[in-house]
C-alpha cells in the first residue's frame, strides 16, 4: 500500500523549519525516517507492505542521490536491513558522507530501508492492535519467513528489477541467513549478501541488551553525552574515538526500538544451543511469555544458502564476537570475502567515523566488481 512519495524532497525547507522550532523550544522529537532523508536534501518515498501473516511493515526509499539521475536505465537496487532493537533510520543518522544509505544513493543505487515488525514504524496489523499480547507473538523467525519476502518482493515489483543487493547488520543478517537458506526462490532474487556483524552464533558474546526507553530523553543533554556513550559501549564494545558523540541524541532517539519479549527470549537462548555439524538451530515457538520452549527447535541449513556472501566482524564487538563469526564462516557455502576489523565495536558498522573508508568503500567495490 503506497502512502507517500517525493513530497518530502520538495518539503526540505519545511523540515528545516520544523527541526529549528523543535530545537528552539527544547523539544527533540523522533522524526519520521522520510523527514531525516529529506532534511539532508535527498528524495524520499515511503511504503507500507502487508505480510502473509497480517503485519504491515514500512519501507523507506532513496531512489537516487541529491542530483537528479541521468538516463542511464534502471538502477541496481540495494536493500538495507537494521539490527536488533534498531530501525531503518540507523542507515541515515550520520552526515551524508558518513551514512551508508546516502553514500549508496550518491553512488547511483536505488536504496531501500527495511523496518521489521514491532519497530516504531511497523506497528500495524490487519486484525490486532499493539495493546494485544498476540501482536507481539513473534521472533526473528517470523521476520525472516514473512517480513523479508514481503519487502523484497515488493521492492522488485516496484523497481522492475530481478535481483537486489542485500546488506544486513546484526539481526538483519540473522534473518537473511534464515530466509535465504529456507526459501530458494527468495535466495535467487539476491545478487549478493553483505553480512555486517552477523548475529547467528552467540557463544562468546559479552553484551546484554538492557537499555530502557528513557535513554532518548536523557541523552539529548550535552552533559550526559559521555555517560550515554558509555552505555552504548557496554552493549556493543568500546571504541570512543570512532563515535561522533555530538550525534548521541540522534542515535539514542532511534535506539533501542521495540521488539517482542519472545524475540528477546529467543536471542537469550541462542548462545546455549547445541551445535550440530550440518545445521544451525535456534529456538522459537512461544505462544506467550510464560510458554515453555519447544524440545526440538527447527533447523536452518545454512550450507544450502546459494547467495554469494561477504562477511565482516569487529574485534571489539561485545554483541557479535569475532570468534562466533569464525564459527559461522565454514557454514556459508559461497563466501566471497571476509574482513575482520580488529578495533571495531558493534556500532562502528553503522555509526563509525571511519566506516566509509574501511567498510562502505569495500561494499561498493564488491557491488561494482564484474561477475
Q: CA-CA distance, 51 to 75, in Å (whole number)?
A: 26
| Residue in 199, 78, 75 with CA at minimum distance from that of residue 143 | 199
| Residue in 44, 22, 47 with CA at minimum distance from that of residue 35 | 44
Backbone angles phi, psi at 361, to 5 degrees: -65, -35
Residue 341's contacts (CB-CB under 8 Å, 6 or more residues apart) are 312, 313, 314, 315, 348, 358, 359
| Residue in 227, 221, 230, 210 with CA at minimum distance from that of residue 253 | 221
Q: Look-up: residue for cell 533501542?
A: 256
- Out of 170, 181, 260, 313, the active site residue is 170
The C-alpha torsion from 120 through 121 and 122 to 124, rounded to 10°, is: 100
Give the other-Cβ count within 10 Å of 254's Cβ: 23
170 catalytic? Reply is yes
Q: What angle do CA 167, 307, 191 make, to 5 degrees?
A: 60
346 catalytic? Reply is yes
- Out of 110, 147, 317, 348, the active site residue is 317
137 catalytic? Reply is no
Query: Which letter does DSSP use for residue 291 in this model?
Result: P
- Residues marked active site are found at 170, 317, 346
Amino acid at each position: 500500500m503506497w502512502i507517500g512519495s517525493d513530497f518530502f524532497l520538495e518539503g526540505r525547507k519545511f523540515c528545516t523549519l520544523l527541526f529549528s522550532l523543535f530545537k528552539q523550544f527544547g523539544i527533540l522529537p523522533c522524526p519520521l525516517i522520510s523527514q531525516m532523508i529529506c532534511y539532508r536534501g535527498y528524495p524520499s518515498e515511503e511504503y507500507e507492505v502487508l505480510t502473509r501473516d497480517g503485519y504491515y511493515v514500512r519501507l523507506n526509499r532513496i531512489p537516487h542521490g541529491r542530483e537528479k539521475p541521468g538516463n542511464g536505465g534502471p538502477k541496481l537496487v540495494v536493500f538495507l536491513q537494521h539490527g536488533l532493537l534498531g530501525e531503518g533510520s540507523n542507515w541515515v543518522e550520520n552526515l551524508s558522507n558518513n551514512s551508508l544509505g546516502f553514500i549508496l544513493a550518491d553512488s547511483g543505487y536505488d536504496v531501500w530501508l527495511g523496518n521489521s515488525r514491532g519497530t516504531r514504524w511497523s506497528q500495524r496489523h490487519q486484525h490486532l492492535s499493539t495493546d494485544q499480547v498476540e501482536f507481539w507473538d513473534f521472533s526473528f523467525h517470523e521476520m525472516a519467513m514473512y517480513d523479508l519476502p514481503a519487502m523484497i518482493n515488493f521492492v522488485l515489483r516496484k523497481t522492475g528489477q530481478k535481483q537486489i543487493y542485500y546488506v544486513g547488520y546484526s539481526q538483519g543478517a540473522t534473518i537473511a541467513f534464515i530466509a535465504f537458506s529456507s526459501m530458494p526462490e527468495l535466495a535467487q532474487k539476491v545478487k549478493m549478501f553483505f553480512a555486517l556483524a552477523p548475529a547467528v552464533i552467540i557463544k562468546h558474546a559479552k553484551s546484554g541488551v538492557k537499555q530502557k526507553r528513557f535513554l532518548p530523553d536523557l541523552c539529548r543533554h550535552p552533559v550526559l553525552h559521555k555517560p550515554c556513550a558509555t552505555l552504548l559501549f557496554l552493549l556493543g564494545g568500546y571504541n570512543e574515538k570512532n563515535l561522533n558523540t555530538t550525534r548521541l541524541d540522534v542515535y539514542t532517539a532511534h535506539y533501542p526500538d521495540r521488539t517482542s519479549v519472545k524475540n528477546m527470549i529467543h536471542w537469550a537462548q541462542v548462545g546455549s544451543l547445541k551445535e550440530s555439524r550440518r545445521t544451525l538451530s535456534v529456538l522459537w515457538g512461544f505462544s506467550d511469555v510464560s510458554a515453555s520452549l519447544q524440545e526440538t527447535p527447527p533447523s536452518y541449513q545454512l550450507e544450502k544458502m546459494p547467495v554469494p556472501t561477504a562477511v565482516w566482524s569487529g574485534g571489539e564487538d561485545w554483541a557479535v564476537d569475532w570468534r562466533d563469526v569464525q564459527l559461522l564462516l565454514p557454514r556459508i557455502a559461497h563466501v566471497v570475502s571476509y574482513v575482520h576489523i580488529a578495533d571495531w565495536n558493534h556500532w562502528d558498522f553503522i555509526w563509525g567515523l571511519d566506516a566509509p573508508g574501511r567498510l562502505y568503500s569495500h561494499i561498493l567495490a564488491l557491488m561494482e566488481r564484474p561477475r
